[in-house]
């Protein structure tokens, strides 16, 4: 079996198409198509259903893809296994984060790990929460930090921290600077939010509050990234939810104004996600072990933001 065929197939599935896989691998499209045909000929079955407008991985293809990911994970760690014989930890840690992750608890843990292991390098990617989970499942990254709605049974989700969301508006908004407001004052206002602000998604506590209070204003803008949601709110397109502890400095600068509810705002749990079956490098395994140990030793109340006075 030619390993290159398996790697090509893995990229085809990950990129969801022949053309995208060719661009990713910097090869010509016929080369990718030929590799897939050879692999299907070897196994004697269809691995991907591909017709105009259709790209579906068959059940045999799904099984093969899972094995390819596992094989690639093992092969990619061989060099470290052979050469990492000293007590000094080296290597690279790949991590993926949802855009709004601001967690001093995590920052302190990573800083401590770096002091103890200065030769370890880090690579981080910012994705939507669902993309973070997919990246961990595909073993593209060793660990992820994200919101969760539907639990992937093959992954472990550990509550990392909890954050409270408040409603905010920008200077251009008619409610900016006004005190003594009530939730009913927001009901007809244009709204800006995250794409996951839905009853069936990760920010359901915010969606529930919006539904309970019968907010009927038009949704002017949405994004998967906190910075873009904040940008639209500051620009005055509408009011919307943001993590309170993340935007404290923007409030102090006068860029944002806190709106009700002022008491008992919606809380969201952010998770550390990893694949317990993955073959991690020594650096990845040590960092993950340290993070999990710190989480176990620290009550969630001390990992809840804003921190209670």
pLDDT tens digits along 181-221: 999 999 999 999 998 888 778 888 999 999 999 999 999 99
pLDDT tens digits along 67-123: 888 777 666 666 655 655 557 888 889 999 998 899 999 999 999 999 999 999 999
- Dihedral sign for Cα 222, 163, 174, 213, please: positive
Q: Region 13-37: what's the mean pLDDT? A: 90
Tell me: cis bond preceding 306? Omega within 30 of 0 counts.
Answer: yes
Distance in angstroms (rounded) separating the CA atoms of residues 52 and 29: 16
> Sorting pLDDT into bands at 50, 70 and 90, what band is 173?
very high
- Kindly write down the DSSP assignment for every residue of 242-283, as one continuous string: EETTTSHHHHHTTSEEEES--SS--EEEEEEEE-TTS---HH
Helix (H) or strand (E) holding 233: helix 226-234
Q: Region 164-171: what's the mean pLDDT? A: 96
pLDDT tens digits along 116-160: 999 999 999 998 898 999 999 988 899 999 998 788 899 999 999
- Dihedral sign for Cα 281, 282, 286, 289, please: positive
pLDDT tens digits along 217-270: 999 999 989 999 999 999 999 999 999 999 999 999 999 999 999 999 999 999
């Amino acid at each position: 079996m030619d390993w290159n065929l398996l790697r090509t197939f893995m990229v085809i599935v990950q990129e969801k198409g022949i053309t995208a896989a060719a661009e990713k691998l910097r090869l010509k499209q016929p080369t990718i198509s030929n590799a897939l045909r050879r692999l299907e000929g070897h196994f004697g079955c269809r691995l991907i259903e591909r017709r105009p407008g259709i790209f579906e991985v068959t059940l045999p293809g799904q099984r093969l893809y899972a094995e390819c990911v596992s094989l690639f994970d093992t092969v990619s760690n061989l060099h470290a296994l052979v050469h990492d014989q000293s007590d000094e930890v080296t290597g690279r840690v790949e991590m993926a984060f949802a855009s709004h992750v601001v967690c001093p608890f995590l920052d302190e843990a990573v800083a401590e790990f770096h002091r103890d292991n200065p030769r370890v390098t880090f690579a981080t990617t910012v994705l939507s929460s669902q993309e973070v989970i997919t990246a961990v499942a595909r073993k593209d990254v060793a660990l992820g930090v994200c919101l969760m709605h539907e639990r992937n049974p093959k992954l472990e989700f550990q509550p990392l921290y909890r954050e409270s969301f408040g409603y905010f508006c920008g200077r251009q908004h008619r409610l900016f600077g006004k005190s003594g407001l009530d939730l009913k004052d927001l009901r007809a206002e244009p709204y800006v939010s995250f794409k996951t602000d839905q009853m069936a998604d990760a920010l359901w506590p915010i969606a529930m509050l919006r539904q309970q209070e019968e907010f009927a204003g038009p949704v002017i803008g949405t994004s998967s990234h906190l910075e873009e949601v904040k940008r639209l709110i500051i620009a005055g397109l509408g009011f919307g939810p943001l993590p309170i502890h993340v935007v404290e400095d923007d409030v102090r600068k006068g860029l944002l104004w806190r709106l009700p509810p002022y008491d008992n705002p919606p809380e969201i749990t952010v998770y550390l996600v990893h694949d317990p079956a993955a073959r991690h490098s020594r650096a990845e395994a040590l960092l993950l072990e340290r993070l999990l140990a710190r989480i176990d030793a620290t009550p969630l109340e001390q990992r809840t933001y804003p921190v209670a006075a």
